[in-house]
Amino acid sequence: MTKPDQPPSPIARAIAMFTLIVAGEAVFFLPFVLPRVFRPTLLEVFQLTNLELGIAFSLYGVVAMIAYFPGGPLADMFSARKLMAVALLATAAGGLLLASIPSLGGLKLLYGFWGATTILLFWAPLIRATRAWGGAMLPGRAFGFLDGGRGLVAAAIGSGAVALFALLMPEDVQTASAAQRTHAFQQVVYLFTGITLAAAVLVWFALPRQGEPSDPIELKRPLGAVRRVLKMPTVWLQAIVVVSAYVGYKGLDNISLYAHEVLEFDEVQAAQVGTLSMWMRPVAAVAAGLLADRFGVARLTILSLLGFGIGSGMLAVGAFPPGMSMFFFATMISTSACVFALRGLYFAMMEEGRVPFGDTGCAVGIVSVIGFTPDVFMGPWMGILLDRWPGELGHQYFFASLAVAATIGLIASIAFWRIVRRWNEA
Protein backbone atom coordinates (compact mmCIF):
# COMPACT_ATOMS: atom_id res chain seq x y z
CA MET A 1 0.00 0.00 0.00
CA THR A 2 3.10 2.20 0.06
CA LYS A 3 6.08 2.44 -2.29
CA PRO A 4 8.80 -0.15 -1.79
CA ASP A 5 11.45 2.51 -1.15
CA GLN A 6 9.36 4.19 1.54
CA PRO A 7 8.65 1.62 4.29
CA PRO A 8 5.57 2.61 6.28
CA SER A 9 6.04 3.79 9.84
CA PRO A 10 4.57 1.75 12.71
CA ILE A 11 1.86 4.40 13.10
CA ALA A 12 0.99 4.24 9.39
CA ARG A 13 0.84 0.45 9.55
CA ALA A 14 -1.41 0.59 12.61
CA ILE A 15 -3.77 3.08 10.94
CA ALA A 16 -3.89 0.98 7.77
CA MET A 17 -4.75 -2.20 9.69
CA PHE A 18 -7.35 -0.38 11.80
CA THR A 19 -8.99 0.92 8.62
CA LEU A 20 -8.99 -2.52 6.99
CA ILE A 21 -10.52 -4.00 10.14
CA VAL A 22 -13.33 -1.46 10.44
CA ALA A 23 -14.14 -1.48 6.74
CA GLY A 24 -13.82 -5.25 6.49
CA GLU A 25 -16.58 -5.76 9.02
CA ALA A 26 -18.77 -2.72 8.38
CA VAL A 27 -19.49 -3.81 4.81
CA PHE A 28 -21.11 -7.00 6.15
CA PHE A 29 -23.09 -5.46 9.04
CA LEU A 30 -26.32 -5.11 7.11
CA PRO A 31 -26.41 -8.37 5.11
CA PHE A 32 -24.95 -10.70 7.76
CA VAL A 33 -24.46 -9.34 11.28
CA LEU A 34 -27.99 -7.97 11.49
CA PRO A 35 -29.76 -11.29 10.73
CA ARG A 36 -27.28 -13.24 12.85
CA VAL A 37 -27.99 -11.25 16.00
CA PHE A 38 -31.64 -10.38 15.36
CA ARG A 39 -32.86 -13.36 13.33
CA PRO A 40 -36.03 -14.05 15.37
CA THR A 41 -36.99 -10.36 15.22
CA LEU A 42 -36.21 -10.07 11.52
CA LEU A 43 -38.46 -13.05 10.79
CA GLU A 44 -41.26 -11.44 12.80
CA VAL A 45 -40.93 -7.95 11.31
CA PHE A 46 -40.81 -9.15 7.70
CA GLN A 47 -43.29 -12.00 8.32
CA LEU A 48 -40.90 -14.54 6.79
CA THR A 49 -40.32 -18.24 7.13
CA ASN A 50 -36.79 -19.56 7.56
CA LEU A 51 -36.89 -20.82 3.97
CA GLU A 52 -37.93 -17.43 2.56
CA LEU A 53 -35.09 -15.70 4.39
CA GLY A 54 -32.77 -18.48 3.24
CA ILE A 55 -33.72 -17.83 -0.39
CA ALA A 56 -32.81 -14.15 0.04
CA PHE A 57 -29.42 -15.25 1.39
CA SER A 58 -29.11 -17.63 -1.55
CA LEU A 59 -29.63 -14.82 -4.05
CA TYR A 60 -26.83 -12.94 -2.31
CA GLY A 61 -24.69 -16.04 -2.72
CA VAL A 62 -25.47 -16.47 -6.42
CA VAL A 63 -24.51 -12.88 -7.20
CA ALA A 64 -21.44 -13.21 -5.00
CA MET A 65 -20.32 -16.37 -6.83
CA ILE A 66 -20.53 -14.49 -10.12
CA ALA A 67 -18.71 -11.48 -8.65
CA TYR A 68 -15.81 -13.27 -6.94
CA PHE A 69 -14.02 -14.24 -10.12
CA PRO A 70 -13.93 -10.82 -11.90
CA GLY A 71 -13.40 -9.16 -8.53
CA GLY A 72 -10.05 -10.96 -8.13
CA PRO A 73 -8.31 -9.52 -11.21
CA LEU A 74 -9.85 -6.10 -10.46
CA ALA A 75 -8.05 -6.13 -7.12
CA ASP A 76 -4.73 -6.76 -8.91
CA MET A 77 -5.41 -3.91 -11.33
CA PHE A 78 -6.98 -1.03 -9.40
CA SER A 79 -6.76 0.87 -6.12
CA ALA A 80 -8.06 -0.91 -3.02
CA ARG A 81 -8.90 2.48 -1.48
CA LYS A 82 -11.24 3.49 -4.29
CA LEU A 83 -12.86 0.10 -4.78
CA MET A 84 -13.55 -0.37 -1.08
CA ALA A 85 -14.93 3.16 -0.53
CA VAL A 86 -17.42 2.82 -3.39
CA ALA A 87 -18.48 -0.61 -2.13
CA LEU A 88 -19.18 0.72 1.36
CA LEU A 89 -21.19 3.67 0.07
CA ALA A 90 -23.35 1.41 -2.09
CA THR A 91 -23.90 -1.06 0.75
CA ALA A 92 -24.98 1.75 3.10
CA ALA A 93 -27.49 2.93 0.48
CA GLY A 94 -29.05 -0.53 0.63
CA GLY A 95 -29.53 -0.09 4.37
CA LEU A 96 -31.97 2.76 3.73
CA LEU A 97 -34.10 0.41 1.65
CA LEU A 98 -33.99 -2.27 4.36
CA ALA A 99 -35.21 0.25 6.95
CA SER A 100 -38.32 0.82 4.84
CA ILE A 101 -39.27 -2.85 5.48
CA PRO A 102 -39.63 -3.88 1.82
CA SER A 103 -41.67 -6.81 0.57
CA LEU A 104 -40.14 -10.25 0.19
CA GLY A 105 -39.41 -9.48 -3.45
CA GLY A 106 -37.68 -6.23 -2.49
CA LEU A 107 -35.68 -8.02 0.19
CA LYS A 108 -34.48 -10.59 -2.36
CA LEU A 109 -33.41 -7.85 -4.78
CA LEU A 110 -31.63 -6.05 -1.96
CA TYR A 111 -29.63 -9.14 -1.04
CA GLY A 112 -28.70 -9.63 -4.67
CA PHE A 113 -27.52 -6.00 -4.79
CA TRP A 114 -25.45 -6.52 -1.64
CA GLY A 115 -23.90 -9.58 -3.24
CA ALA A 116 -22.40 -7.25 -5.85
CA THR A 117 -21.42 -4.36 -3.58
CA THR A 118 -19.69 -6.45 -0.92
CA ILE A 119 -17.88 -8.86 -3.25
CA LEU A 120 -17.15 -7.45 -6.72
CA LEU A 121 -15.62 -4.21 -5.44
CA PHE A 122 -14.59 -5.10 -1.92
CA TRP A 123 -13.56 -8.62 -0.98
CA ALA A 124 -10.44 -9.28 -3.08
CA PRO A 125 -9.03 -5.75 -2.50
CA LEU A 126 -9.40 -6.32 1.25
CA ILE A 127 -7.54 -9.65 1.15
CA ARG A 128 -4.80 -8.34 -1.14
CA ALA A 129 -4.22 -5.29 1.05
CA THR A 130 -4.05 -7.50 4.15
CA ARG A 131 -1.55 -9.88 2.56
CA ALA A 132 0.59 -6.89 1.58
CA TRP A 133 0.47 -5.68 5.19
CA GLY A 134 1.71 -9.00 6.56
CA GLY A 135 4.26 -9.83 3.88
CA ALA A 136 5.99 -13.20 3.72
CA MET A 137 6.97 -13.30 7.40
CA LEU A 138 3.70 -12.53 9.17
CA PRO A 139 0.78 -13.91 7.13
CA GLY A 140 -0.92 -15.46 10.14
CA ARG A 141 -0.63 -12.28 12.16
CA ALA A 142 -2.00 -10.13 9.33
CA PHE A 143 -5.09 -12.23 8.76
CA GLY A 144 -5.49 -12.97 12.46
CA PHE A 145 -5.47 -9.25 13.24
CA LEU A 146 -7.88 -8.61 10.37
CA ASP A 147 -10.48 -11.17 11.33
CA GLY A 148 -9.94 -10.81 15.06
CA GLY A 149 -10.30 -7.06 14.75
CA ARG A 150 -13.34 -7.48 12.57
CA GLY A 151 -14.78 -9.76 15.23
CA LEU A 152 -14.12 -7.19 17.94
CA VAL A 153 -15.85 -4.51 15.90
CA ALA A 154 -18.80 -6.81 15.16
CA ALA A 155 -19.16 -7.87 18.80
CA ALA A 156 -18.90 -4.31 20.11
CA ILE A 157 -21.34 -2.86 17.59
CA GLY A 158 -23.58 -5.91 17.93
CA SER A 159 -23.69 -5.48 21.70
CA GLY A 160 -24.49 -1.81 21.28
CA ALA A 161 -27.25 -2.68 18.83
CA VAL A 162 -28.73 -5.21 21.26
CA ALA A 163 -28.65 -2.59 24.02
CA LEU A 164 -30.41 -0.09 21.74
CA PHE A 165 -32.97 -2.71 20.74
CA ALA A 166 -33.65 -3.62 24.39
CA LEU A 167 -34.00 0.07 25.30
CA LEU A 168 -36.63 0.59 22.59
CA MET A 169 -38.61 -2.53 23.50
CA PRO A 170 -40.99 -2.75 26.49
CA GLU A 171 -39.61 -4.17 29.72
CA ASP A 172 -41.57 -7.36 29.12
CA VAL A 173 -40.35 -8.19 25.64
CA GLN A 174 -43.09 -10.73 25.05
CA THR A 175 -45.75 -7.98 25.25
CA ALA A 176 -44.20 -5.89 22.44
CA SER A 177 -46.61 -4.94 19.68
CA ALA A 178 -45.74 -5.39 16.00
CA ALA A 179 -45.28 -1.62 15.67
CA GLN A 180 -42.90 -1.45 18.65
CA ARG A 181 -40.87 -4.37 17.36
CA THR A 182 -40.65 -2.87 13.87
CA HIS A 183 -39.63 0.57 15.18
CA ALA A 184 -36.86 -0.91 17.34
CA PHE A 185 -35.60 -3.01 14.44
CA GLN A 186 -35.53 0.01 12.12
CA GLN A 187 -33.39 1.98 14.55
CA VAL A 188 -30.87 -0.87 14.59
CA VAL A 189 -30.81 -0.82 10.77
CA TYR A 190 -30.16 2.93 10.79
CA LEU A 191 -27.32 2.39 13.27
CA PHE A 192 -25.65 -0.18 11.02
CA THR A 193 -26.21 2.00 7.94
CA GLY A 194 -24.54 5.00 9.58
CA ILE A 195 -21.53 2.95 10.62
CA THR A 196 -21.14 1.57 7.09
CA LEU A 197 -21.22 5.09 5.67
CA ALA A 198 -18.63 6.27 8.22
CA ALA A 199 -16.38 3.35 7.21
CA ALA A 200 -16.48 4.53 3.60
CA VAL A 201 -15.23 7.95 4.67
CA LEU A 202 -12.51 6.35 6.81
CA VAL A 203 -11.26 4.22 3.90
CA TRP A 204 -11.15 7.18 1.54
CA PHE A 205 -9.11 9.39 3.84
CA ALA A 206 -7.12 6.90 5.97
CA LEU A 207 -5.79 4.36 3.50
CA PRO A 208 -2.60 5.67 1.84
CA ARG A 209 -2.64 6.75 -1.79
CA GLN A 210 0.91 5.59 -2.46
CA GLY A 211 1.24 2.64 -4.76
CA GLU A 212 -2.11 3.11 -6.49
CA PRO A 213 -1.84 1.90 -10.09
CA SER A 214 -1.77 4.65 -12.69
CA ASP A 215 -1.70 2.56 -15.87
CA PRO A 216 -4.06 -0.22 -16.92
CA ILE A 217 -2.58 -3.70 -16.61
CA GLU A 218 -2.52 -5.73 -19.81
CA LEU A 219 -5.22 -8.33 -20.14
CA LYS A 220 -2.61 -11.08 -20.52
CA ARG A 221 -1.49 -10.68 -16.94
CA PRO A 222 -4.74 -11.63 -15.17
CA LEU A 223 -5.37 -14.42 -17.69
CA GLY A 224 -1.89 -15.78 -17.09
CA ALA A 225 -2.37 -15.53 -13.35
CA VAL A 226 -5.61 -17.51 -13.58
CA ARG A 227 -3.83 -20.29 -15.48
CA ARG A 228 -0.98 -20.40 -12.97
CA VAL A 229 -3.27 -20.46 -9.95
CA LEU A 230 -5.55 -23.15 -11.39
CA LYS A 231 -2.55 -25.49 -11.71
CA MET A 232 -1.72 -25.30 -7.98
CA PRO A 233 -3.12 -28.22 -5.89
CA THR A 234 -2.73 -26.21 -2.69
CA VAL A 235 -5.20 -23.63 -4.02
CA TRP A 236 -7.84 -26.33 -4.58
CA LEU A 237 -7.28 -27.78 -1.11
CA GLN A 238 -7.44 -24.30 0.39
CA ALA A 239 -10.78 -23.78 -1.37
CA ILE A 240 -12.17 -26.97 0.23
CA VAL A 241 -11.01 -25.80 3.65
CA VAL A 242 -12.72 -22.44 3.08
CA VAL A 243 -15.97 -24.21 2.10
CA SER A 244 -15.91 -26.24 5.32
CA ALA A 245 -14.98 -23.29 7.51
CA TYR A 246 -17.57 -21.06 5.90
CA VAL A 247 -20.28 -23.67 6.41
CA GLY A 248 -19.40 -23.41 10.09
CA TYR A 249 -19.48 -19.63 10.00
CA LYS A 250 -22.88 -19.57 8.31
CA GLY A 251 -24.03 -22.23 10.75
CA LEU A 252 -23.51 -19.81 13.62
CA ASP A 253 -26.48 -17.88 12.22
CA ASN A 254 -28.58 -20.60 13.85
CA ILE A 255 -27.25 -20.04 17.38
CA SER A 256 -29.72 -17.34 18.43
CA LEU A 257 -32.69 -19.19 16.91
CA TYR A 258 -31.59 -22.44 18.61
CA ALA A 259 -31.50 -20.65 21.96
CA HIS A 260 -34.94 -19.18 21.30
CA GLU A 261 -36.72 -22.30 20.03
CA VAL A 262 -34.98 -25.10 21.94
CA LEU A 263 -33.71 -23.50 25.15
CA GLU A 264 -36.73 -21.17 25.39
CA PHE A 265 -34.79 -17.88 25.63
CA ASP A 266 -36.77 -14.71 24.83
CA GLU A 267 -35.83 -12.49 21.85
CA VAL A 268 -33.43 -10.24 23.77
CA GLN A 269 -31.75 -13.20 25.48
CA ALA A 270 -31.43 -15.01 22.14
CA ALA A 271 -29.81 -11.92 20.60
CA GLN A 272 -27.41 -11.81 23.54
CA VAL A 273 -26.44 -15.44 22.85
CA GLY A 274 -25.66 -14.53 19.23
CA THR A 275 -23.58 -11.60 20.40
CA LEU A 276 -21.67 -13.75 22.92
CA SER A 277 -20.74 -16.09 20.08
CA MET A 278 -19.43 -13.10 18.15
CA TRP A 279 -17.23 -12.05 21.08
CA MET A 280 -15.19 -15.22 20.58
CA ARG A 281 -14.09 -14.04 17.16
CA PRO A 282 -11.46 -11.44 18.15
CA VAL A 283 -9.88 -13.71 20.73
CA ALA A 284 -9.84 -16.83 18.56
CA ALA A 285 -8.74 -15.22 15.29
CA VAL A 286 -5.87 -13.21 16.79
CA ALA A 287 -4.66 -16.14 18.89
CA ALA A 288 -4.80 -18.45 15.87
CA GLY A 289 -2.88 -15.95 13.74
CA LEU A 290 -0.11 -15.49 16.30
CA LEU A 291 0.21 -19.24 16.89
CA ALA A 292 0.15 -19.95 13.15
CA ASP A 293 3.21 -17.75 12.53
CA ARG A 294 5.05 -19.84 15.12
CA PHE A 295 3.76 -23.39 14.54
CA GLY A 296 2.43 -23.23 10.98
CA VAL A 297 -0.87 -22.23 9.41
CA ALA A 298 -1.68 -25.75 8.23
CA ARG A 299 -1.25 -27.29 11.70
CA LEU A 300 -3.53 -24.72 13.36
CA THR A 301 -6.08 -25.20 10.59
CA ILE A 302 -6.20 -28.95 11.26
CA LEU A 303 -6.73 -28.43 15.00
CA SER A 304 -9.44 -25.82 14.43
CA LEU A 305 -11.39 -28.03 12.03
CA LEU A 306 -11.16 -30.90 14.51
CA GLY A 307 -12.62 -28.70 17.28
CA PHE A 308 -15.35 -27.40 14.97
CA GLY A 309 -16.36 -30.97 14.10
CA ILE A 310 -16.49 -32.12 17.72
CA GLY A 311 -18.54 -29.11 18.82
CA SER A 312 -21.02 -29.49 15.97
CA GLY A 313 -21.39 -33.16 16.82
CA MET A 314 -22.21 -32.28 20.43
CA LEU A 315 -24.93 -29.87 19.29
CA ALA A 316 -26.24 -32.49 16.85
CA VAL A 317 -26.90 -35.08 19.57
CA GLY A 318 -29.27 -32.69 21.36
CA ALA A 319 -27.56 -32.67 24.74
CA PHE A 320 -28.93 -29.28 25.83
CA PRO A 321 -32.49 -29.38 27.17
CA PRO A 322 -33.79 -26.25 28.95
CA GLY A 323 -32.00 -25.90 32.27
CA MET A 324 -28.56 -26.97 31.00
CA SER A 325 -27.48 -23.51 29.93
CA MET A 326 -23.89 -23.73 31.20
CA PHE A 327 -23.18 -26.89 29.17
CA PHE A 328 -24.69 -25.21 26.11
CA PHE A 329 -22.66 -22.04 26.60
CA ALA A 330 -19.41 -24.00 27.00
CA THR A 331 -20.02 -25.93 23.78
CA MET A 332 -21.22 -22.86 21.89
CA ILE A 333 -18.19 -20.81 22.96
CA SER A 334 -15.62 -23.49 22.11
CA THR A 335 -17.21 -24.28 18.75
CA SER A 336 -17.47 -20.58 17.87
CA ALA A 337 -13.80 -20.16 18.82
CA CYS A 338 -12.75 -22.91 16.39
CA VAL A 339 -14.88 -21.50 13.57
CA PHE A 340 -13.54 -17.98 14.08
CA ALA A 341 -9.97 -19.27 14.32
CA LEU A 342 -10.44 -20.75 10.85
CA ARG A 343 -11.50 -17.34 9.54
CA GLY A 344 -8.18 -15.97 10.72
CA LEU A 345 -6.29 -18.81 9.03
CA TYR A 346 -7.75 -19.84 5.72
CA PHE A 347 -6.44 -16.95 3.60
CA ALA A 348 -3.09 -17.06 5.39
CA MET A 349 -2.74 -20.49 3.75
CA MET A 350 -1.77 -18.70 0.51
CA GLU A 351 1.70 -17.99 1.87
CA GLU A 352 2.41 -21.61 2.84
CA GLY A 353 0.76 -22.66 -0.42
CA ARG A 354 3.32 -20.50 -2.31
CA VAL A 355 0.87 -18.36 -4.28
CA PRO A 356 2.87 -15.52 -5.94
CA PHE A 357 1.94 -12.15 -4.46
CA GLY A 358 1.20 -10.70 -7.90
CA ASP A 359 -1.42 -13.42 -8.38
CA THR A 360 -3.09 -12.82 -5.00
CA GLY A 361 -6.26 -11.28 -6.39
CA CYS A 362 -6.76 -14.10 -8.89
CA ALA A 363 -6.13 -16.71 -6.20
CA VAL A 364 -8.61 -14.98 -3.88
CA GLY A 365 -11.17 -14.92 -6.68
CA ILE A 366 -10.78 -18.63 -7.48
CA VAL A 367 -10.71 -19.76 -3.84
CA SER A 368 -13.69 -17.56 -3.04
CA VAL A 369 -15.80 -18.77 -5.97
CA ILE A 370 -15.51 -22.28 -4.54
CA GLY A 371 -15.05 -21.54 -0.86
CA PHE A 372 -18.01 -19.24 -0.36
CA THR A 373 -20.60 -21.40 -2.14
CA PRO A 374 -22.28 -21.80 1.29
CA ASP A 375 -23.68 -18.32 0.64
CA VAL A 376 -25.80 -20.02 -2.03
CA PHE A 377 -26.97 -23.16 -0.27
CA MET A 378 -26.70 -22.69 3.49
CA GLY A 379 -29.67 -20.32 3.83
CA PRO A 380 -32.13 -22.57 1.99
CA TRP A 381 -30.63 -25.67 3.63
CA MET A 382 -31.17 -24.23 7.09
CA GLY A 383 -34.67 -23.12 6.15
CA ILE A 384 -35.64 -26.53 4.76
CA LEU A 385 -34.43 -28.41 7.84
CA LEU A 386 -35.91 -26.01 10.40
CA ASP A 387 -39.25 -25.65 8.62
CA ARG A 388 -39.61 -29.34 7.71
CA TRP A 389 -38.74 -30.52 11.24
CA PRO A 390 -39.78 -27.69 13.61
CA GLY A 391 -38.17 -27.55 17.02
CA GLU A 392 -35.17 -29.43 18.31
CA LEU A 393 -35.05 -32.16 15.66
CA GLY A 394 -34.52 -29.72 12.79
CA HIS A 395 -31.67 -28.07 14.69
CA GLN A 396 -30.08 -31.47 15.33
CA TYR A 397 -30.14 -32.32 11.65
CA PHE A 398 -28.63 -28.94 10.84
CA PHE A 399 -25.72 -29.28 13.27
CA ALA A 400 -25.10 -32.84 12.03
CA SER A 401 -24.56 -31.39 8.54
CA LEU A 402 -22.01 -28.99 10.02
CA ALA A 403 -20.11 -31.92 11.52
CA VAL A 404 -19.95 -33.58 8.09
CA ALA A 405 -18.59 -30.38 6.55
CA ALA A 406 -15.95 -30.13 9.26
CA THR A 407 -14.80 -33.69 8.52
CA ILE A 408 -14.39 -32.95 4.80
CA GLY A 409 -12.38 -29.82 5.60
CA LEU A 410 -10.22 -31.77 8.04
CA ILE A 411 -9.26 -34.27 5.32
CA ALA A 412 -8.36 -31.42 2.92
CA SER A 413 -6.30 -29.59 5.54
CA ILE A 414 -4.28 -32.73 6.30
CA ALA A 415 -3.57 -33.15 2.57
CA PHE A 416 -2.49 -29.48 2.37
CA TRP A 417 -0.18 -29.93 5.37
CA ARG A 418 1.47 -32.97 3.79
CA ILE A 419 2.24 -31.02 0.60
CA VAL A 420 3.73 -28.14 2.59
CA ARG A 421 5.80 -30.56 4.66
CA ARG A 422 7.22 -32.16 1.49
CA TRP A 423 8.16 -28.74 0.15
CA ASN A 424 9.90 -27.82 3.39
CA GLU A 425 11.82 -31.09 3.47
CA ALA A 426 12.93 -30.85 -0.17
Cα–Cα distance for residue pair 98/162, rounded to 1 Å: 18
pLDDT given for residue 117 in this prediction: 95
Give residues with Cβ within 8 angstroms of 182, minimum separation 6.
45, 101
2 within a domain of the structure (yes/no): no
DSSP class per residue in 365-420 = HHHHHHHTTHHHHHHHHHHHHHHHSTTHHHHHHHHHHHHHHHHHHHHHHHHHHHHH
21 within a domain of the structure (yes/no): yes
pLDDT given for residue 79 in this prediction: 82
pLDDT band at 32 (very low <50, low <70, confident <90, very high): confident
Cα–Cα distance for residue pair 353/233, rounded to 1 Å: 9
The residue with greater pLDDT, 267 or 167, is: 167
pLDDT band at 68 (very low <50, low <70, confident <90, very high): confident
Range of the domain at 409: 10-210+219-425
The answer to which of 65-74, 85-94, 132-141, 331-340 has the lowest mean pLDDT is 132-141
pLDDT given for residue 119 in this prediction: 92
Cα–Cα distance for residue pair 315/20, rounded to 1 Å: 34
The answer to which of 57-66, 136-145, 212-221, 272-281 has the lowest mean pLDDT is 212-221
CATH (domain of 62):
1.20.1250.20
Q: Is the per-residue pLDDT at 163 higher than 50?
A: yes
Domain total in the chain: 1
For residues 212 and 79, the answer to whether their CB atoms sit within 8 Å is: yes
pTM passes above 0.85: no
Q: Is the per-residue pLDDT at 164 higher than 50?
A: yes
Question: Quick one: average pLDDT of 3-19?
Answer: 76
61 within a domain of the structure (yes/no): yes
- Helix (H), strand (E) at residue 52: helix 50-77
364 within a domain of the structure (yes/no): yes
